[in-house]
Amino acid sequence: MTITRSIKSKLDNYGVNLPTDRRTRAYANILKKNNWTDETYKGYLKDIIKKFAIKEKKIVSQVARNKIIEQVAQSVKNKNKIRYTGSTLVKFIITEGKTPDDREKITIDTLTSRQKTEVMNVFIEFHTLSFDKTVLNIKEIDSIVKYQVQKLQIKISMRPYVVDVEVDSIKKSINKYTNVEMTNIRMRQSGSYNIDGYTNQDWDTQQDKCVYDYIIHTYGKLKGFKKQCNDYKTLEEIFDNGDSMIIGVNTDGIRNWCEHFNIPMHALDDEEKRFSHYSPEKRNTNAPSMMFRVSDGHFYPIPENKEKSVLTINTQIDAGSEVIYDFKAEEKELVPITDIVILENTNPMLEISKSIIETKTKPTQISVVDGNIQSYKLNGITYTINKFIPFAKIMCINMKLFYTGQSLGNILNIIITETVKQINKSHHNPNVFDS
């Protein structure tokens, strides 16, 4: 009985080297050695194939399980990843040869600006690299940016007329991605409430053009700004030459204006965290920075007395360190709390709503416990449902302390600490040992 093609094919696939041709001496020898018939030998080969098939099934099953485990692990890993977006501004010092004709033919889409230096054939180029990656940690961001810069450096050096390329500085603006693209939010709302601690917006003409009104009021009379910062139409052309007068100006439009006049820009969200910025190489020293907060579709300039603290707390950009890191916040000076209103027999939510309507200002320093408002501060006055505050204030006065919001427990700890300091330490009587 001949061995079928199917059996031969499976033996070849599994790498089994046994004779299958009845005409060969090897085939005859194996039958003679084991006293097999053709049918017995064929059955033997089928058993071998069956064992390999079982083993193969186990291996395939294990591979499938490993793949599932790997997919689950990858899924968990991806859940721990965070999306970061932003850009990197790279400054290159480029030394070139004397082939100006070739120079005009090669352009790189990342190029932002190009400047001459005092040294012949040495130029400065600024390139902007976009960043949109999902990563596990900040170090991973740093590695990606480093690779992007190196790749760009090689690309620039490939120009036939370039002799040398040096990276002079790297400025990174990379932040966690939020579902709402802050840079696209249009600011135009008139009649918006002010924010407690922010300057009253007397410059707002209430015509849904808050950004226009602020620029005209703040920059319109300054040298170098008078011609282009005193009418809506000219500002519109600088923002985006679109329909910002109707739908409002977004952060990108303000950035265009800042780039036009070389003004530094810092755009903040409702938590006063910076989500976009612009830092010109040569700053316009005739005008202040553009620092603003986007909230409720309205434009809120950061008050001058808050600018320093906001910049200190926010992420700073530095070429020689990690991509993103936080400065330690400046230690806040404890300010004595003097004006306190106790909210009795009332709903704090109703009181806070009433305060907003009356003052047209959104309060800050709102304290919430278990979903219930405990206190809030507005125009220097602290409103609270804590009935023990007056008693705590009296205790602080008697102890010659400033009341800065201490609880009765904190005051009690101070009393115990001070009392223990005044008690003399006891010592045993040395005469006891002589008795």
d(CA 160, CA 107): 12
Distances (CA, A) of 182 to 149, 211, 252: 26, 16, 10
The continuous run of DSSP H or E covering 265 comes out as strand 265-268
Instruction: Please give the model's pTM, rounded to 2 decimal places.
Output: 0.43
> How many Cα atoms are found within 13 Å in the side-chain-facing hemisphere of 277?
23
373 backbone dihedrals φ, ψ, rounded to 5°: -70, 125
Q: Can you tell me the distance from the alpha carbon of 86 to that of 130, in angstroms, rounded to the nearest whole number?
A: 6
Residue 344: both structure tokens together = 């009795």
Query: Count of CB atoms within 10 A of residue 328's CB?
Result: 7
Sheet hosting strand 82-96, strand order edge to edge: 111-116, 122-135, 82-96, 162-176
Nearest to 53 by CA among 89, 14, 85: 14
Q: Side-chain half-sphere of 107: how many Cα atoms within 13 Å?
A: 6
What fold does the segment set 182-313 form as a domain?
Cathepsin B; Chain A (3.90.70)
Beta strands in 1-96 (DSSP E): 82-96
Which fold, 82-176?
Alpha-Beta Plaits (3.30.70)
> Are the C-beta atoms of 259 and 282 separated by less than 8 Å?
no
Q: How far is 66 from 70, CA to CA, in rounded Å? A: 6
Paired tokens of 277: 């910025």
pLDDT value for 418: 66
Closest CA to 265 of 228, 327, 204, 219: 219
E-assigned strand segments in 55-110: 82-96
| pLDDT by 10-residue block (mean), the chain, 435 residues | 83 86 89 90 89 85 74 61 82 79 62 84 88 83 90 87 89 70 76 72 85 92 90 89 82 90 87 80 87 85 80 47 34 52 62 67 63 67 67 75 65 67 59 55
First CA to last CA across the chain, in angstroms?
119
Per-residue burial over 294-318, b if 16 or more Cβ lie within 10 Å, else e, is bbeebbbbbeeeeeeebbebbbebe
3-class state of residue 163 by DSSP: strand
Of the candidates 114, 100, 119, 88, which has an alpha carbon nearest to the alpha carbon of residue 159? Answer: 100
Distance of CA 67 to the CA centre of its chain: 33
Instruction: Determine the Cα–Cα distance for residues 256 and 261; give it in Å rounded to an integer.
Output: 9
